[in-house]
Structure 1
Amino acid sequence: MSNLLFSVQGRANRAKFWLVALGIAVIEVILFAVILGGAAMSGDPEKIAAAMGPVASIVILAFVVIATWISVAVAIKRYHDRNKSGWWVLIVFVPVIGGLWYLIECGFLRGTPGPNDYGPDPLAAV
């Protein structure tokens, strides 16, 4: 599991990409619900600011850093599965089309069948 989440070596299929994306989203929702509690539901900016103390800010920052690394690592593996360099993750910084390109390339297009420059087909082991 740590190889999937933290390593940039190898390949990852679409299912793993979406599983990681969904997992991060669920953890994010739970984390913010626990930290903000009812303050966010009230809509009162003062209550929200009070709920966001220094400890909560550090927890959120740690989560963002870890989630960003995991997302980048899995995206690199998706590009490897498509037989492309991991540097393609930088496409998200191209305005307008970058994010769409990333979503289509990593989320919807099938990887290279069989082994490629980055390792064996992750679907072959299934």
Structure 2
Amino acid sequence: MDFMTSVRTCLGKYATFSGRAQRSEYWWFVLFNFIGSIILNIIDTAIIGVPALSIIWALGLLLPALSVSVRRMHDLDKSGWWILVAFIPLLGFILIIYWFVQRGTEGPNRFGSDPLASGRYAAA
């Protein structure tokens, strides 16, 4: 999945917590969110002086980021509730990163069919 397809998919599934998200879908969306945050922080600092645009950006993308994270956990055949492990200081963050860089379950799992095998997305 390429950058634009990933962003469109994540924004199109704004609050869809069912199904699966492959690695490329998740990481391209994280990159989009990161770049947007940096640009808006620069604008906020240089022009406005308060983080108004950055806060709007973060709040606007909170739900899509959460939903793609849950779908990414589903791709690993784990419950979406496992993302709460990120609240464990340091260890939770490391574990989440470790899981999110892993390849998803091949073939169908209890959360749906394999996004790569089903032909919904091009292999990344």
Q: Which residue of structure 2 lines up, in the alignment, with residue 84 of structure 1?
A: 78
Structure 1: where are the runs of 5+ without partners? 39-49
Q: Which residue of structure 1 lines up, in the alignment, with residue 93 of structure 2?
A: 99
CA distance in 2, matches of 1:117, 1:3: 23
Q: Larger C-alpha radius of gyration, 1 or 2?
A: 1
After superposition, the CA RMSD in angstroms is 1.7
Per-residue Cα deviation, 1:11-50 (whole angstroms, up to 9, x for no partner):
0011111100000001011111122227xxxxxxxxxxx7
Residue of 91, 114, 122 corresponding to 1:121: 114
Once the two structures are superposed, the pairs formed by residues 46-85 of structure 1 within 5 Å of their partners are 51-52=49-50, 57=52, 59-85=53-79
Structure 1 residue 5 displacement after superposition: 4.2
Identity %: 29
Residue of 34, 37, 42 corresponding to 2:43: 34
TM-score (norm: length of structure 1): 0.78
CA distance in 1, matches of 2:62, 2:97: 16
Structure 2: where are the runs of 5+ without partners? 1-8
Give the letter aligned to residue 102 of structure 2: L
Give the letter aligned to residue 123 of structure 1: L
Per-residue Cα deviation, 1:90-114 (whole angstroms, up to 9, x for no partner):
01011221000001101x1111101
Matched position secondary structure for 1:114: coil
Of structures 1 and 2, the one with the larger relative CO (CA 8 A, separation 6+) is 1
Distance 1:22 1:5, change over 3 A: farther
TM-score (norm: length of structure 2): 0.80
Question: More helix by proportion, 1 or 2?
Answer: 1
Count of residues in Structure 1 that have an aligned counterpart in Structure 2: 110
CA distance in 1, matches of 2:13, 2:106: 20
Q: Which residue of structure 1 lines up, in the alignment, with residue 3 of structure 2?
A: none
